[in-house]
Structure formats: structure tokens, C-alpha cells
Amino acid sequence: MEQSQVVVVGSANADLVLDIDHRPAPGETILASDVVTTPGGKGANQAVAAGKVGGRVAFLGCVGDDDHGRLLRGSLEGAGVDATGLRTVAAPTGTAIISVTPDGENSIMVSPGANRHVTPAMLTGLQDVWASAAVVVLQLEIPMESVAAVAAGATGRVVLNAAPAASLPAEVLAVADPLVVNESEAEFLLAEAGAADGATSPDGEGAPGGDSLAARLLALGPRSVILTLGAAGSVIVERAPDGGARPPVWVPARRVAATDTTGAGDAFVGALAVRLAAGASLTEAVELATAVAAVAVTRRGASTSSPTLVEVEAMFGAVV
Ligand code: ADP
């Protein structure tokens, strides 16, 4: 089999989405819309996004022997992702129950299920797939010791999306290039490190905040940082040769009419990884990631919303 350039190690979930008109109070029962079941999980979403923009991508993870597992396998394969490292285990496929109120706010409950079986032992068995990949992509919906094992063994570039927010061992943070986080994840990591004072995002001119937050994150140890700021874009901070921080680079978001921002970050990370594996600079890779995420927010769904390169170019013309 041809070596994949991008290997995503992570979670695969079925997203069960329910529209509700208000959130139920304790003890209350409400009626919801028909349930809509779509492929999700940060890892699978990122792999699908990477596959759709044309990367040679493999996904390593676990699902159950059930319809949700088959849905996920089909979604990965449909995006051109090599899913031979997607193991079927004796646990239900991970499930996210997502309720959405008319104001667009969502509440999410995640049952990890099969994702708990993405263990260091399983990943050791798949070492030939990830250890020498140009880019390995990690998030935090699988056991932390598995994230740590891959971070320690990867010889390629490690893209670490520290989501959902969780404490990170220093040795995992140290190899992240980049660490990709949104504002709330950034604040969590800084609070953990006792460095959050004054780190809330400023609303200055030019870059709409985030510069100091991103620089403080770099001081926690990663090799580079991308802080995503939703409709305000993202901020990149890289290391200078002396180990300090280069001046932050702000990449504004593309202006679009957002319909559903679920999965924007995952589309962003998937596209980013593909461009980095092709040898692009961090800024060039973020340009593509920004365009891909912008198309994704114009459509509903977490991974079903992720566009192909042709669709991105149809909306914005050629991107880097
Ligand atoms: P997450 O989904 O992880 O919370 P963000 O909301 O920060 O991440 O979004 C990630 C990226 O997606 C942003 O940096 C931006 O480029 C793009 N994006 C998010 N929301 C929008 C939007 N409303 N319009 C255009 N681009 C968006």
C-alpha cells in the first residue's frame, strides 16, 4: 500500500442531531425533531476534510460492529481516506447526542464507546502507518496515553488539535507544530499553566484579538501555534531562531453567510495538514484551511459540510 502523507489518529462518532425548541429542565420531557444521524468525531471529521481536499490520508481509530460504525467507514472511504486502520471492536461506536435550539446554540453529550479502544497497544501494531508519515494529526477524544505514544514516536510533523480542552503532558505539547486551539481551549491551557492573567482576547485594531493569547500559548512549549477565532480568522505564531516568538500573523476569515459552524475547526485542521504535508509554510497552509472552513460553515453538518478543492475554488478562485 502507498504510504499515506497524512495520518489522522483519533475519534469517530455518530452524531445524533435533534432540533428542540427549548432545553428540557430537570425532570422535564420534551418532543424533538426526527433524529438526523451523521458521521462525526473530531478525528474522522479531520480525516474526511483532508481526504476531500485531495490528500493521501489514512485514519486510525475504532468503531463498533454496528450501523454507526459502517456509516463512519463509508464516510471515510467516500472521502478517499484509507480506512484499513479503522478497527472494529467489541464496544458501541462512539456517539454524540447533539441538541440544537432555534437560536443555533447546541448542547452535546458524548459517549466515547469504541474510541476508548484506541490504545497505545493498538497503535503500536499500526506503527508502520503513522511513525514515518509526513504529518500526523492528533486531537483529544481518545485516551491521552495514546496521544502521548504517537507524539513520542512520530518522526514527521505533529499537528495537535488540543480539543476538547484537556491537560496536556509537557512532552506532547513540546512536539506540537502547530498546536491548534480555539479561544476557549487556549484559555483552558493558559489557566492550567497559571498563565491566564490578562490573556483574554483583546479587541484591538488589525488582528481582532488573540495575538497575546497566541504568544502566551507558544510560551507553554509548542513549536508553533494557531489560534482560531471563528469568524475573525486565526493567528499564527512561530518560533524565531533564538527560541522566542516571531511576530504573530493574522489570517482573516473569508466572509461568508454562515449556516452551521459545527466542524469548522475540523475542516480547518484537515486542510491544514494536507498542505503542510505537501511542504507549504504554516501561513500558506492556513490560507487554504481558512477557505475550506469558510465553505464548510455555509453548509450543515460536521464532516458532510467539508468541501473538495474544486468546490473551494468555485467559491473563492485559486487559493495559494
Ligand atoms: P472551532 O470550530 O474549533 O471552535 P473556530 O470557530 O475558531 O473553531 O473556527 C475555525 C476556523 O474556521 C476559523 O479560524 C475560520 O477560519 C473559520 N470560520 C469559523 N467560523 C467562520 C465563519 N462564521 N465565517 C467564516 N469562517 C469561519
Measured CA to CA, the distance from residue 300 to residue 104 in angstroms comes to 12
The CATH number given to whatever domain includes residue 189 is: 3.40.1190.20
Measured CA to CA, the distance from residue 108 to residue 106 in angstroms comes to 6
Known catalytic residue: 266?
Answer: yes
Name the residue at shortest CA distance from atom 2 of ligand 1: 265
Residue 27 covered by a domain: no
Residue 68 covered by a domain: yes
Residue 1 covered by a domain: no
SS3 for 256?
A: coil
**What is the domain extent for residue 246?**
6-22+32-316
* pLDDT value at residue 181: 98
Is residue 211 over pLDDT 90? Answer: no
Residue 88 covered by a domain: yes
The total of structural domains in the chain comes to: 1
Enter the C-alpha cell of residue 19: 432540533
| Total residues found in the chain within this entry | 320
Kindly indicate the confidence band of residue 202, based on its pLDDT and cuts at 50, 70 and 90. Answer: very low
Considering only CA atoms, which of 274, 283, 253 is closest in space to residue 46? 274
SS3 for 2?
A: coil
What tens digit of pLDDT does each residue of 43-90 get?
A: 999 999 999 999 999 999 999 999 999 999 999 999 999 999 999 999
Centre of ligand 1 from the C-alpha of residue 182, in Å:
9
Enter the C-alpha cell of residue 15: 452524531
Measured CA to CA, the distance from residue 131 to residue 154 in angstroms comes to 4
Considering only CA atoms, which of 79, 127, 97 is closest in space to residue 37? 97
Is residue 198 over pLDDT 70? Answer: no
Name the residue at shortest CA distance from atom 6 of ligand 1: 230
* pLDDT value at residue 179: 98
Contact 117, 105 (CB under 8 A): no
Kindly indicate the confidence band of residue 300, based on its pLDDT and cuts at 50, 70 and 90. Answer: confident
Name the residue at shortest CA distance from atom 18 of ligand 1: 230
* Average pLDDT of every residue of the chain: 93
Residue 133 covered by a domain: yes
299 is in an annotated binding site: yes
Centre of ligand 1 from the C-alpha of residue 146, in Å:
27
Is residue 208 over pLDDT 60? Answer: no
305 is in an annotated binding site: yes
Centre of ligand 1 from the C-alpha of residue 168, in Å:
23
- Report field, pTM of the whole predicted structure over 0.75: yes
